[in-house]
Amino acid sequence: MAHPPSPKRSASLDQEQFLTVLSREEALSRFETALFPRPARHEMRKLNDALGLALAEDVIAPIDVPPFDRSNVDGFAVRSSDLAMAAEGSAIRLALNNEIIACGDAPQLVVTPGTATPIATGGPVPRGADAVVMIEHTQPAGARAIEIRRAASPGQFVSYAGSDIARGEALMRAGTIVGSREVGMLAACGIAEVKVACKPKVAILSTGDELVPPGQSLRPAAIYDTNGPIVTAAIAENGGDAVFVGAFPDDEVKLEAAMRAALAQCDMLVLSGGTSKGAGDVSHRIIGRLGKPGIIAHGVALKPGKPLCLAVCDGKPVVILPGFPTSAMFTFHDMIVPVLRRMAGLPPRSDAKVTARVPVRIASELGRTEFVMVSLVEGEDGLIAYPSGKGSGAITAFAQADGFLRIDALAYQMPAGTEAEVTLFTPHVRVPDLVIVGSHCTGLDIVTASLVRGGLSVRSIPVGSLGGLAAARRGECDLAPIHLFDDKTDTYNASFLVPGLELVPGYRRMQGIVFRAGDNRFEERDAQGAVKAALADPSCLMVNRNQGAGTRILIDRLLGEARPDGYWNQPKSHNAVAAAVAQNRADWGVTIAPVARAAGLGFIPLAEEHYDFALVSARKARPAVRAFLDSLASSETRATLERAGFRPA
């Protein structure tokens, strides 16, 4: 195939060679080699204008603090040897020298043997004196003398020159972020200005035809730009001066203009989305035209985050983060933060780490460094790290996780029971007061609301009813919300419990058929009639539920042997069923009443589902568990549940 040698074409050919996937270490090392060393930019700033900036050089203390030997109390400067024999029964009399040393007064007279000089807190200790006696421990003895009835140790109530800060000592190291405490130390040394690193100015662009900025209304098939705000915040958190340029459609001409303008103004460019090689993915082609050497790595053996693209254009880093927000965040923290911090004059980030046991096996792809987000809970003998089981598109996984663990590229799994190192997102572990593992429900938020208002932290880890029961059996949670239908006994939940667990009745959720209002196949019919009408119309599309869901059992009973179109569409949540029907991707499905109501759908009641709690008996006495049970039983919670469409048991 012959191609005309257009600049566009040759740029994309150049990039083909970078499509080989590099290891994380190789990609980072090539990126850093292309960027460093580079001249650092600094400026002098007045103390209060330096807040939040990194010191560009060590600060050496120019003076002693305090600058002189200073009295710590109001009293008398004395020679301790004069008071060696002082005791309750033998007072020592000292003649007063003719001066009073207040703060800011330089002493004029020497404290000779047998004399004392009145001195105020903060006053300089005069020549000859080596201790201060508190005024409370003295008695006047005539006009010009005092009596003292206790000995004084040398140095008593004296802060010696340089005891706080010694002249010549390294007060602060380069890279220290200036905060109020640093300002205090600098001011105490008389320093009015410091040399700080200039923050690198970083432009952020989101790309994708589907993106809508938060605050505007969502058109069909569009999503909100999540990466723009997260990346902007994360850049500011890591020493950058973040400039959010906007969310751009995948339009090569417009995007190139925006990228060029941003690069001219800024020290670094961070894009997200469009880094795979899909038809609409144009940013990596543009990079080839922005400057030398261009793309350094396109494809890194990370999971999530493989499509990461790293480039340097005429000395400036240009990065395209993967589109999925969690992938974008991991690659940003792992690969971009080190470079950004170095440009900002900050030391490498010191992440807090803890060791925690992984309760379940985590499968991992061989050949890629894998990051797994985890939630930490307190187990019987130490911390437990629960992997957040959502896909790489899940933004809540990031917000709810406490940190992440890393599975080596050469491992194909992390076995259950591994003691793994967890890197925390925040400097401290905050183990939740109440841990709920199992099926999630919006009603649960109503029950826990009062606990959260009362200052308890509640962690709900959605793993489904069966996963919750398993966690409860292992003692890894306080409560497991379950809604398991036993078709042998035709009852809910009770038959699934084992010794050590007890059933706390929760509430009922009406399950029913949902349809779009006005659909005559469903309006005014009962459940059997509606399903009959649906099955009679070959164009009528259903949405099913996943195998194992309580709802699925109901659906299978309704359908009997029938397998209508849509049967194999089996989402895993009540909300997904409602969304499919509301958005016309299906005509009917089965979901719970509160979800149907929130989606504005028609609803034909079918059967009540029992949503109860398997309580770990050993944890019953914990204050947070008691608070939960109290809330569940309270009339306020019950009323709120009813208003939301639930029926408390």
- As measured in angstroms, the least distance from the Cβ of 620 to ligand AMP is 43
Residue 322 near which of Mg ion, ligand AMP, none (CB within 5-8 Å, type-dependent)? ligand AMP
Residue 375 near which of ligand AMP, Mg ion, none (CB within 5-8 Å, type-dependent)? none
- As measured in angstroms, the least distance from the Cβ of 25 to ligand AMP is 24
C-alpha span between 71 and 167 (Å, rounded): 20
Distance from CA of residue 264 to its chain's centroid? 32
Residue 325 near which of Mg ion, ligand AMP, none (CB within 5-8 Å, type-dependent)? ligand AMP
**In terms of CB distance, is 331 or 364 closer to Mg ion?**
331
**CA distances, 623 to each of 436, 443, 457, 629, 630 (Å):** 14, 21, 12, 10, 10
Query: Minimal CA–CA distance to 253: which of 9, 3, 8?
Result: 8
- As measured in angstroms, the least distance from the Cβ of 321 to Mg ion is 12
- As measured in angstroms, the least distance from the Cβ of 228 to ligand AMP is 6
Please identify which residue in 97, 117, 156, 226 interacts with ligand AMP, judged by CB under 6 A: 226
C-alpha span between 450 and 266 (Å, rounded): 47
Q: Segment 154-213, which members bind ligand AMP (CB under 6 A)? A: 206, 208, 210-211
**In terms of CB distance, is 147 or 251 closer to Mg ion?**
251
What track of x and - describes contact with ligand AMP for positions 293 through 332 (by CB under 6 A)? Answer: -----------------------------xxxx-------
Helices (H), 243-289: 252-265, 283-287
What track of x and - describes contact with ligand AMP for positions 235 through 254 (by CB under 6 A)? Answer: --------------------
C-alpha span between 227 and 231 (Å, rounded): 6
Contacts of residue 329, Cβ cutoff 8 Å, sequence gap at least 6:
230, 234, 398
Stretch that binds ligand AMP, among 70-78, 107-115, 226-234, 358-366 (CB under 6 A): 226-234
- As measured in angstroms, the least distance from the Cβ of 272 to Mg ion is 9
Q: By CB under 6 A, tell whether 392 contacts ligand AMP.
A: no
Q: DSSP string of 556-585?
A: HHHHTT---TTTT---SSHHHHHHHHHTTS
Tell me if 364 sits within 8 A of 413, measured CB to CB: yes
Q: By CB under 6 A, tell whether 117 contacts ligand AMP.
A: no
Q: Which SS3 state, helix, strand or coil, does residue 420 take?
A: strand
Q: Which SS3 state, helix, strand or coil, does residue 648 take?
A: strand
Q: By CB under 5 A, tell whether 307 contacts Mg ion.
A: no
* Total residues binding Mg ion (CB under 5 A): 3
Please identify which residue in 225, 370, 478, 612 interacts with ligand AMP, judged by CB under 6 A: 225
Q: Segment 264-283, which members bind ligand AMP (CB under 6 A)? A: 272-276, 278
Token pair in block for residue 380: 């019987």
C-alpha span between 148 and 124 (Å, rounded): 22
Tell me if 368 sits within 8 A of 409, measured CB to CB: yes
- As measured in angstroms, the least distance from the Cβ of 268 to ligand AMP is 18
C-alpha span between 482 and 370 (Å, rounded): 31
**In terms of CB distance, is 309 or 436 closer to ligand AMP?**
309
- As measured in angstroms, the least distance from the Cβ of 239 to Mg ion is 28
What track of x and - describes contact with Mg ion for positions 200 through 239 (by CB under 5 A)? Answer: --------x-------------------------------
- As measured in angstroms, the least distance from the Cβ of 571 to ligand AMP is 17
Q: By CB under 6 A, tell whether 227 contacts ligand AMP.
A: yes
Helices (H), 401-463: 442-453
Tell me if 435 sits within 8 A of 622, measured CB to CB: no
Residue 13 near which of ligand AMP, Mg ion, none (CB within 5-8 Å, type-dependent)? none
Q: Which residue is nearest to ligand AMP (CB)?
A: 323
- As measured in angstroms, the least distance from the Cβ of 210 to Mg ion is 7
- As measured in angstroms, the least distance from the Cβ of 325 to Mg ion is 12
Residue 276 near which of ligand AMP, Mg ion, none (CB within 5-8 Å, type-dependent)? ligand AMP
Does the CA dihedral 16-20-24-27 come out positive or negative? Answer: negative
Token pair in block for residue 298: 């396109």
Please identify which residue in 239, 273, 294, 379 interacts with Mg ion, judged by CB under 5 A: 273
Residue 126 near which of ligand AMP, Mg ion, none (CB within 5-8 Å, type-dependent)? none
* Total residues binding ligand AMP (CB under 6 A): 19
Distance from CA of residue 1 to its chain's centroid? 50
**In terms of CB distance, is 130 or 250 closer to ligand AMP?**
250
**In terms of CB distance, is 228 or 467 closer to ligand AMP?**
228
CA angle 467, 470, 471 (to 5 degrees): 85
Query: Minimal CA–CA distance to 613: which of 402, 382, 400, 448?
Result: 448
- As measured in angstroms, the least distance from the Cβ of 201 to ligand AMP is 21
Please identify which residue in 124, 274, 304, 467 interacts with Mg ion, judged by CB under 5 A: 274
- As measured in angstroms, the least distance from the Cβ of 445 to ligand AMP is 24
Q: By CB under 5 A, tell whether 317 contacts Mg ion.
A: no
Tell me if 155 sits within 8 A of 106, measured CB to CB: no
**In terms of CB distance, is 391 or 518 closer to ligand AMP?**
391
**In terms of CB distance, is 138 or 275 closer to ligand AMP?**
275
- As measured in angstroms, the least distance from the Cβ of 541 to ligand AMP is 24
- As measured in angstroms, the least distance from the Cβ of 397 to ligand AMP is 14
**In terms of CB distance, is 56 or 259 closer to ligand AMP?**
259
Task: Count CA atoms within 13 Å of residue 251 on its CB side.
Answer: 10
Q: Segment 337-366, which members bind ligand AMP (CB under 6 A)? A: none
Please identify which residue in 75, 162, 228, 512 interacts with ligand AMP, judged by CB under 6 A: 228
**Cβ-based neighbour number of residue 130 at 10 Å:** 18
Contacts of residue 344, Cβ cutoff 8 Å, sequence gap at least 6:
54, 197, 199, 200, 238, 239, 240
Q: Which SS3 state, helix, strand or coil, does residue 340 take?
A: helix
**Cβ-based neighbour number of residue 523 at 10 Å:** 14
**In terms of CB distance, is 234 or 482 closer to ligand AMP?**
234
The helix (run of H) or strand (run of E) holding residue 530 is helix 527-536
**Cβ-based neighbour number of residue 170 at 10 Å:** 10
- Residues 88, 91, 94, 95: what is their CA dihedral angle, to the nearest 10 degrees? 130
- Interface residue list for ligand AMP (CB under 6 A): 206, 208, 210-211, 223, 225-228, 272-276, 278, 322-325
Contact residues for Mg ion, defined by CB under 5 A: 208, 273-274
